[in-house]
Amino acid sequence: MSVVSLLGVKILNNPAPFDAKYQFEITFECLEPLQKDLEWKLTYVGSATSSEHDQELDSLLVGPIPVGVNKFIFEADSPDLKRIPTSEILGVTVILLSCSYDDREFVRVGYYVNNEYDNEEMNDDPPAKPVIEKVRRNILAEKPRVTRFAIKWDSEDSAPAEFPPEQPEADAVEDDGTAYGAEEAELEVAEVESETVEGVKEDGEDEEMGGAEDTAGPSTAKAEDEESEAGSEDLEAESSGSEEEEIEEEEGEGEADEDMEMGEGGTPAQSVGKETSMQGQHQGEVMVH
């Protein structure tokens, strides 16, 4: 916790000519008595590309500091033009208001500053060499950038932790890096074993499929043999049936002959026609087989 807190900064002369002094009304609060003074500084950033052109405009020691809310006015001179590049005089730059205790900075406030001529004609067509008497500065007081730092004040208890506290129990615990490395090794071994098992499984599936194909071959052949045998039986049965039909037909022919011998007139001709048709039917059935 900071012993001194910045409550507010008010810029008294803004806008103002470029070569006018800076005036700030600063309000802060002190929570406990301080053994040393506070040092306030105002820095002008002369160039956006190099810190070599930065210049400290003024510094002020404030103290002794009573406990409570305090207010004072801080004045600083304008920047030295000789230390600013000619091309950097006009345009936007930055000023920094900071405060330190015992050479330890604990707060910094940054403001943007716009430097331009006080008339539009010169702004539209600026001369090669800046005319400082016509340049005015405008501090963007509504948008300050405040940065705070934790520092050590008078007591050791107020000092921020520079190193993590000692933890003997944590030192006795196994290093996380070693454990992490061991876990990674175990994961790699598990992945390798998993890939090996998957590879073996895939090979086994191929073998089973191959065996199935081999098994399917003989089974198919056997089924075809059985079908051919069944077909042969059918053909034999049909052949035997044909033979029986032939025998019956022959017997029928014998009876027909007997009828022909016994009959007279047109009866034999009818019998012959019947016999001829039966023979033609039989020949047709044989040709089909």
Q: What is the arithmetic mean of pLDDT over 80-100? A: 94
Dist CA 100 CA 148 (whole Å): 11
- Residue among 142, 153, 58, 138 at smallest CA distance from 101: 153
Q: Render pLDDT for 168-199 as a digit per residue (tens, 0 to 9).
A: 565 555 555 555 556 666 777 667 666 655 55
pLDDT at 136: 95
The DSSP line for 118-131 is SSHHHHHS--SS--
- The confidence band for 261, taking pLDDT boundaries of 50, 70 and 90, is very low
Beta sheet of 22-30, edge-to-edge order: 4-11, 22-30, 68-76
Per-residue pLDDT at 159: 58
What the block records as the tokens of 8 is 């507010």
Q: Which of 62, 69, 148 is nearest to 109 (CA)?
A: 148
Query: Is this structure's pTM higher than 0.85?
Result: no
pLDDT at 167 over 70: no
Weakest-pLDDT range from 82-91, 97-106, 108-117, 248-257: 248-257
Beta bridge partners of 111: 95
pLDDT(20) > 90: yes
Of 215 and 77, more confident: 77
d(CA 17, CA 35) in angstroms, rounded, equals 39
pLDDT at 154: 85
More confident residue, 70 or 181: 70
